[in-house]
Amino acid sequence: MLLAAEPDDAHEEGENQQLLITTKGGPGLEGLVVGSYCHDVLIRGGRVVGETLGGAAAFVSNVLDAASPQDAALNGTAPFVVVAKVGHDFVYASAPAPARHPPLLCASPTTSFHAQFSETAASAHAPDRELRRVRACDPIYPADLPDRRFAYGLAVGVAGEVLPETLERMIRLCRAVLVDAQALIRAFDGDGAVGHVALDDTPYARLLPRVAFVKASSEEAPYVGVETTRQRCCVIVTEGRDGCRLYWDGGEARVAPFPAVQVDPTGAGDSFLAGFATGLLWGLSATDAALLGNFFGAAAVSQVGVPTFHPKMLQAVKEILEEKTTKRYSPCINGTSFTFEKSNLHNELHAALQEAAMLMSEQQQADKANGNGGDICSP
């Protein structure tokens, strides 16, 4: 499939061409993450059981910082810019993700969600929480984005803050744009309760042919309309503990999950998308990259809030990527087409990541034994 995020005028084409030349081969693969940080209040049985940093941008930058290919010229950090907005009431400015990627300060309050968790254990596909947006920060406008070119962009709004014109600007600035459906189809009633609208009825629909990937949870998938959308871009449907499925024009694949003891489902989809993008950046095919998505989705549900990755586990993941990829840093994300199919390395990659996932569960057990592991899933 041809990369959809093509420029639509000659001037843009010239600039994009330049980006392709200057970023070929690795360093300079700068990304653009657009979506606001927020406050999450986790409630169970009418009782507040956790207050955490939220916003897809927080979970996404956490994974990109940890696992995407690093740039020696930037002291080994992953090159990407986050455009997020918060109010003066934002309480997590010194948490690792916002400290590394500071948000824009607004006069309006920080976006805030109340997540009401059900008292009974959720099934793999049933909604496990009801979300209410209780405060909303300003939208992110096209003029808030840096005026330069990026290799890839992630549109990861949580409260309708990524406006259609902002997504359009991202498409013009970035060679490949990956979108979380929740940024496009969320609707809020008078009480802030989060519902969904059909993607085709939104002003975002016309932009889909210029988007590379749309990720939706199984709850969101019916609103995205997999069969129509897969003809415009690749659709990834995440299925909680069952892993995920990819649908492109002409094929589909199921990608197996990694084991996890879920203590908080928040941010699983965000971490999945960032893991997936990381896989593309390392040069994997989309179906192989989804393994990395599943890996980081599983890591996210194993901790409350934005997860901290154990250095041993991260080291293992990096060694696997160094070994299994040919260090063709992101020819997919940076080139003009994507490979979707499973490679013949898929099963090996899955097995190797499964071993790294063991380190994750060892850490979880150690945290529990030391009384550090929160759990908002068990009554």
Ligand X SMILES: Nc1ncnc2c1ncn2[C@@H]1O[C@H](COP(=O)(O)OP(=O)(O)OP(=O)(O)O)[C@@H](O)[C@H]1O
* Residues designated as active site: 270
Contact 192, 134 (CB under 8 A): yes
Residue 220 sits in the site that holds ligand INS (CB under 6 A): no
Residue selected from 243, 279, 305, 307 as contacting ligand X according to rule CB under 6 A: 243
Q: For strand 194-196 and strand 213-217, is the pairing parallel, antiparallel, or unpaired?
A: unpaired
Residue 290 sits in the site that holds ligand INS (CB under 6 A): no
> From residue 293 to residue 312, what is the string marking binding to ligand X with x (rule CB under 6 A)?
-x--xx--x-----------
Contact 245, 214 (CB under 8 A): no
- CB nearer to ligand X: give 273 or 321: 273
DSSP state of 59: H
Nearest to 144 by CA among 65, 35, 19: 35
CA distance 292 to 152: 17
Out of ligand INS, ligand X, none, what residue 40 binds, judged by CB under 5 to 8 A for its kind, is ligand INS
Residue selected from 26, 31, 160, 257 as contacting ligand X according to rule CB under 6 A: 257
Q: What are phi and psi of 103, to 5 degrees?
A: -80, 165
Position 122: which residue type?
Answer: A
Q: Which residue is nearest to ligand INS (CB)?
A: 54
CA distance 199 to 181: 8
Express the helix, strand and coil content of the chain in percent, nearest 5 each.
Answer: 40, 25, 40
CA distance 69 to 62: 14
Residue selected from 60, 207, 268, 280 as contacting ligand X according to rule CB under 6 A: 268
Residue 158 sits in the site that holds ligand INS (CB under 6 A): yes
What part of residues 164-193 is at the interface with ligand INS (CB under 6 A)? 182
Out of ligand INS, ligand X, none, what residue 301 binds, judged by CB under 5 to 8 A for its kind, is ligand X
Out of ligand INS, ligand X, none, what residue 363 binds, judged by CB under 5 to 8 A for its kind, is none
Nearest to 170 by CA among 151, 196, 195, 197: 151
Residue numbers at the binding site for ligand INS (CB under 6 A): 38, 40, 54-56, 59, 113, 131, 158, 182, 266-267, 269-270
Residues within the interface to ligand X (CB under 6 A) = 217, 238-241, 243-244, 257-258, 260, 262, 265-270, 272, 294, 297-298, 301
